[in-house]
Amino acid sequence: MLPLSLVYIGEYLINQGLTELIYFDCSHGFDLSKHSQYRWFQVLYQLGAFFSRSSVQFFRLPQLVLYLLPILQLGNTIFLAFDAIYFFVPHIGIIFGIILFEGLFGGAAYGNTFHRIHKEVAPEIREFSMSATTLADSSGIVIAALSAIPLHNFICNQQISRIK
């Protein structure tokens, strides 16, 4: 439950608190407006989540990788938080790749966790296990949503103080 919850904290912190603060001028952003950039971030995130959730029947992650996904996702979160403050990434294409991986990590954690429960947990406790895991995923989203507000405000204040 903890790895899935941590993946979702990172994932939704990125989606709810960071992506709207990361933007590029036209020459470094494929000539996309700020609003279009945000929409493309969301499209790429959803594509990554869709593909990784859909691929669990063909490609299953080992248990160790499920424990590495939160580290990778939280790494994405930290990287994007620093970029939202310092704007050091030179082109939107790099952020597009990171956002795609964010979706891949989140979808892989979700799909593989539930697939493992379905296939490996004893039938008499399977339903309880799935319910408990759903709580972990939902609590990760709630924690991220509550954390996104002060994080967003902090980053905005950092951006304003850098401009002055």
**Mean pLDDT calculated for residue range 90-117:** 96
Q: What's the confidence (pLDDT) of residue 1?
A: 84
Question: What pLDDT score does 162 carry?
Answer: 74
Give the mean model confidence (pLDDT) for residues 20-24: 94
Q: Which two tokens stand for residue 40?
A: 């493309």
Checking if the pLDDT of 163 tops 80, the result is no
Residues 6+ apart with CB under 8 A from 100: 44, 45, 47, 48
Q: pLDDT at position 164, please?
A: 65
Give the three-state DSSP class for 41: helix
Radius of gyration of the CA atoms of the chain, in A: 17
Top pLDDT among 103 and 57 is at 103
Q: CA 107, CA 89: separation in Å to the nearest integer?
A: 25
Of residues 109 and 57, the one with the higher pLDDT is 109
Range 80-99 burial, b when 16+ CB lie within 10 A, else e? bbebbbeeebeebeebbebb
pLDDT more than 90, % of the chain: 91
Judge whether residue 127 has pLDDT over 80. yes
pLDDT at 37: 96
